[in-house]
Amino acid sequence: MNSNLKQLPVDERIQLVEDIWDSIASDQDSLPLTSEQRVELDKRLDAYEESKDPGKSLDKAISGIRQRL
């Protein structure tokens, strides 16, 4: 790790990572999917459309995560 980064407070380093991640997410078109990834996404979308199961609510998902910590 760059020693200059270690000098930043943890909250600033976290913010830097979040900013970098947001910049990557906003430029998703430059990261093409592999054929395997496309097949997997199509499979998952087909399964969702067949079952119409929306999954867990955000509150239930977070509660489950907290219970496992």
pLDDT digits (tens, 9 = 90+) for 31-44: 888 999 999 999 99
Radius of gyration of the chain (CA): 18
* Domain range summary for the chain, segments of one domain joined by +: 34-69
Give the SS3 label for residue 52. coil
Distance of CA 24 to the CA centre of its chain: 11
Q: What percent of the chain has pLDDT over 90?
A: 68
Residue carrying structure tokens 């496992």? 68
| Token pair listed for 30 | 């430059």
pLDDT digits (tens, 9 = 90+) for 2-30: 778 889 999 999 999 999 999 988 887 77
Cβ neighbours of residue 13 closer than 8 Å, sequence gap 6 or more: 5
| Token pair listed for 22 | 């947001």
Stated pTM of the model: 0.44
Q: DSSP label at 47?
A: H
